[in-house]
Chain A
C-alpha cells in the first residue's frame, strides 16, 4: 500500500470565460501521506474552499489531476465519483450539517447505508458515537443537540466508513473557543487512534497549534510547510 493517500498534480481551476475569467486555483501540487494531520489555511477568497472542493471530488479541476488513494479521479463519471467520495472521503462541515430529519445515530449510519455495507452498521455508528462522547445523544433528533455535540457527531459520521481522508471545512468556525478546543482535541485524538488522515481547511491557524503540516493558500497558489501566512507573505 502506497504511503501517499492524496496527490494534486498541477491543479488549476478557472471560473468564467474571457474577460470575466477568474483563476481560483493556480497550478497547485502537493502530496499528503497516510495519517498526516494537515491544515490548509488562507484568507477569505484565497481559493481554499475551491481547493477543498477539488480534494473532496465535489468539483473537477480545469487542468491537472487529483489522485486519491492511487486513483486518478478527474476521469471518473458522476456515479463513480459518488461511490469514491463515499468510500474514500469523510466530510466534516462548518455547521456540522447533520440531516435534521434523522436522529444522531441515523446520521452517523448514513454513509455506510449509502455504501450498502454488510457490516453491523448500527453497531459501528454506536461505537463511534461512544468514542466521541455522545452515547447519551444517540436517539435524539440531530437538530435538538448543541453545536459542539453536532460537530462531534459530524466527526463520527466522517469517520464511520473508515475513509482514506477526512476533510473538515472550518470545523470550529461556528463554535465558541472552549467547544472549538474540544472538537480540535477530539479530531486529533481520532486521527492518532485510527491513523486517519485529516485535512482541515480553516482561516484561523491558531485553533490548530499542533499539526503535521500547513498548506497555505494565497491567491490560488499553495505554499507547503509549517510557515504561517504572515511569513509567506513576507
Chain B
C-alpha cells in the first residue's frame, strides 16, 4: 500500500471524532436526498399509478374536438384487444347530475355531481376502480350505483342498499331522472379515484343523456407498465383511425396538468436536498481544517524528511476520498435501507395514498458519486493549506 494512503487512513482512524463527524455530514446529505426521493417521488409515482389504474389507463383515447366519441366504442376496444400487449380496453362516459336522497325522512340534495358511466365487465378487467369499493360491490346492473365516499357523506351518510335519484339533462335539453340502488361506496387513499363522483352502468347513463352508443373515452390498460410500448400502440392506433379525429394520450400526457405542478415541487425539494448536501461539504472543509491544524507537527516532520508539497496534498486529498467513500457508502446503505422499508411496508402518511417506491439505481449511483466528489472537492482547500506550511514554521510546533 502506498505510504500516503496508509498515513491518510491512520491519521483519520486516530481522529475518530473528526472521521465520524465528516462521514456523518456526507451520509446525512445523501440520506436527505434518498428520503426526499422516496417521499416525494413516491407520492408522484403513486399519483401516476392511481391515475393510471382509475382514470386514464396506459393509453387514454378521446375525441380531438368533441366531448364525446360518436362511433361505437366496440370498434376501438376490439382493435386494442387484438394487440397482445393490451390487457383490456373499456369505454367510459361522463356527465353530471343532481342527486336526491331521502334518509330517515330527511331530504338531501346535491347538485352537479360528476357521473361516470362504465361497462362493468370490461371495466373490471381494464381498471382497478372496482378495488376501491370499501363497502358493497361494484356496478353490476342497469340500476345499480356506486357512490364516492365524499358524495355519500355530503348526502348525509348514504349506505349500501339505499335508494338515490339522479336527475340529468340530455343533449336535447330535456330533464331525465332515474332511481338507483346503492351497491357500493368507493373510497381511495389520496382521492385519486371517484370519491367525489358516482359510478353507474354506461348504458344507463347513455339513456339518461340520450347519447346511445357514445362514450367520452376509451381506457386502455397494458399487461404491464411499458411506456415505450404505450407510445408505439398509440401511434399504430391513430394511424389505423386517422380519419376519426381521435387523440390518444399516455398517462403523462393525459394527467399533465395535475403532474406539472407536482414536478416543480419535486424539483424544488431535490434542490433543497442538494443544497443540504452542499452544506455538508462545508462541514467537511471545517473538519479537515481542524485535522490539518492538529497535524502541523507531523506535516513539518514529513517535510523535513523529504516529503514534497504534492505528497502532503495527496495525504489530505486521500483523507477526503476516504471520508467521501465511507460517507457515500454509509449514506447510500442507510438510504437504501429506508427505501426498502418504505417499499416493503407500502409506506403512507395518515391514510394518504401508499407511496409508490422504486429503486432508481442511476439516481442512487449519481447521488453517491456526487457526495464522493463533493467530499474530495471539500478536501482541496484544507489540503492546499497543508502544503503551504513551511517546514521551518511547522517545526516550531515541534
Instruction: Fill in one digit per residue for B3-15: 1 if any A CB lies within 8 Å of its CB, else 0.
Output: 1001100110110
- A–B Cβ pairs within 8 angstroms, 8 of them: A58-B304, A79-B309, A85-B304, A86-B305, A94-B398, A102-B6, A109-B3, A114-B302
Q: How far is the CB of B306 from chain A (nearest CB, A)?
A: 2
Please, which residues of chain A bring their CB within 8 A of the CB of B297?
97
Cβ of B392 under 8 Å from chain A: yes
Cβ of A35 under 8 Å from chain B: no
Cα–Cα, bound, A102→B6 (Å): 9
Cα–Cα, bound, A53→B396 (Å): 11
Cα–Cα, bound, A110→B297 (Å): 16
B398/A111 in contact, CB under 8 A: no
Which of B6, B10, B298, B305 is close to A85, meaning CB atoms less than 8 Å apart?
B305
A positions within 8 Å CB-CB of B? 53, 56, 58-59, 78-79, 82-83, 85-87, 90-91, 93-95, 97, 99-102, 106, 109-111, 113-115, 157, 161
Please, which residues of chain B bring their CB within 8 A of the CB of A157?
305
A95/B14 in contact, CB under 8 A: no
Q: How far is the CB of A209 from chain B (nearest CB, A)?
A: 27
Extra inter-chain contacts (9) besides given A58-B304, A99-B301, CB under 8 Å: A53-B392, A58-B391, A87-B306, A93-B395, A99-B302, A110-B305, A111-B306, A114-B302, A114-B311
B304/A56 in contact, CB under 8 A: yes
Which of A78, A95, A101, A109 is close to B10, meaning CB atoms less than 8 Å apart?
A101
Cα–Cα, bound, A83→B310 (Å): 12
Q: How far is the CB of B293 from chain A (nearest CB, A)?
A: 16
User: With A58-B392, A99-B302 as given contacts, are A82 and B308 in contact (CB-CB < 8 Å)?
Assistant: yes
Residue among B302, B392, B398 facing the most chain A CB atoms (10 A cut-off): B392
Cβ of B303 under 8 Å from chain A: yes
Which of A53, A91, A100 is close to B305, meaning CB atoms less than 8 Å apart?
A91
Cα–Cα, bound, A59→B392 (Å): 7
Cβ of B268 under 8 Å from chain A: no
Which of B11, B303, B307, B308 is close to A101, meaning CB atoms less than 8 Å apart?
B11
Task: Classify chain B: how many residues form its interface, as a range.
Answer: 20 to 34
A83/B301 in contact, CB under 8 A: no
B305/A111 in contact, CB under 8 A: yes
9 pairs of A and B residues whose beta carbons are closest in the complex: A86-B306, A101-B10, A113-B3, A58-B392, A82-B308, A59-B392, A97-B301, A85-B306, A114-B306
Please, which residues of chain B bring their CB within 8 A of the CB of A94?
398
Cα–Cα, bound, A25→B3 (Å): 37
Closest residue of chain B to A50 (Cβ to Cβ) is B392
Please, which residues of chain A bring their CB within 8 A of the CB of B7?
99, 101-102
Please, which residues of chain B bring their CB within 8 A of the CB of A109?
3
B304/A114 in contact, CB under 8 A: no
Cα–Cα, bound, A213→B178 (Å): 123
Cα–Cα, bound, A102→B5 (Å): 12
Cα–Cα, bound, A53→B392 (Å): 7
Interface residues of B in 1-46 (CB under 8 A from A): 3, 6-7, 10-11, 13-14
Closest residue of chain A to B308 (Cβ to Cβ) is A82
User: With A59-B392, A94-B398 as given contacts, are A101 and B305 in contact (CB-CB < 8 Å)?
Assistant: no
A83/B3 in contact, CB under 8 A: no
Please, which residues of chain B bring their CB within 8 A of the CB of A100?
14, 298
Please, which residues of chain A bring their CB within 8 A of the CB of B301?
91, 93, 97, 99
Which of A95, A101, A102, A114 is close to B398, meaning CB atoms less than 8 Å apart?
A95
Closest residue of chain A to B394 (Cβ to Cβ) is A58
Please, which residues of chain B bring their CB within 8 A of the CB of A83?
306, 308
Residue among B10, B305, B391, B398 facing the most chain A CB atoms (10 A cut-off): B305
Cα–Cα, bound, A121→B6 (Å): 15
Cα–Cα, bound, A94→B392 (Å): 15
Cα–Cα, bound, A78→B392 (Å): 13
Closest residue of chain B to A97 (Cβ to Cβ) is B301
Q: How far is the CB of B243 from chain A (nearest CB, A)?
A: 79
Please, which residues of chain B bring their CB within 8 A of the CB of A90?
305
Q: How far is the CB of A182 from chain B (nearest CB, A)?
A: 22
Please, which residues of chain A bring their CB within 8 A of the CB of B302?
99, 110, 114
Please, which residues of chain A bring their CB within 8 A of the CB of B392?
53, 58-59
Which of A82, A93, A95 is close to B303, meaning CB atoms less than 8 Å apart?
A82
Cα–Cα, bound, A72→B270 (Å): 60
A78/B311 in contact, CB under 8 A: no
User: With A78-B309, A86-B306, A114-B306 as given contacts, are A99 and B398 in contact (CB-CB < 8 Å)?
Assistant: no
Closest residue of chain B to A161 (Cβ to Cβ) is B306
B398/A97 in contact, CB under 8 A: yes
Please, which residues of chain B bring their CB within 8 A of the CB of A59?
392
Cα–Cα, bound, A93→B303 (Å): 13
Cα–Cα, bound, A115→B305 (Å): 10
B391/A101 in contact, CB under 8 A: no
Please, which residues of chain B bring their CB within 8 A of the CB of A106?
3, 6
Q: How far is the CB of A208 from chain B (nearest CB, A)?
A: 21
Please, which residues of chain B bring their CB within 8 A of the CB of A93?
301, 395, 398
Cα–Cα, bound, A111→B303 (Å): 10
Closest residue of chain B to A102 (Cβ to Cβ) is B10
Q: How far is the CB of B151 from chain A (nearest CB, A)?
A: 72
Instruction: Fill in one digit per residue for B363-398: 1 if any A CB lies within 8 Å of its CB, else 0.
Output: 000000000000000000000000000011001001
Instruction: Fill in one digit per residue for B278-318: 1 if any A CB lies within 8 Å of its CB, else 0.
Output: 00000000000000000001100111111111010000000
Please, which residues of chain A bring their CB within 8 A of the CB of B303?
82
Cα–Cα, bound, A114→B315 (Å): 12
Cα–Cα, bound, A208→B311 (Å): 37
Cα–Cα, bound, A59→B307 (Å): 15
A115/B6 in contact, CB under 8 A: no
Please, which residues of chain B bring their CB within 8 A of the CB of A91?
301, 304-305
Closest residue of chain A to B297 (Cβ to Cβ) is A97
A99/B395 in contact, CB under 8 A: no
Q: How far is the CB of A170 from chain B (nearest CB, A)?
A: 11
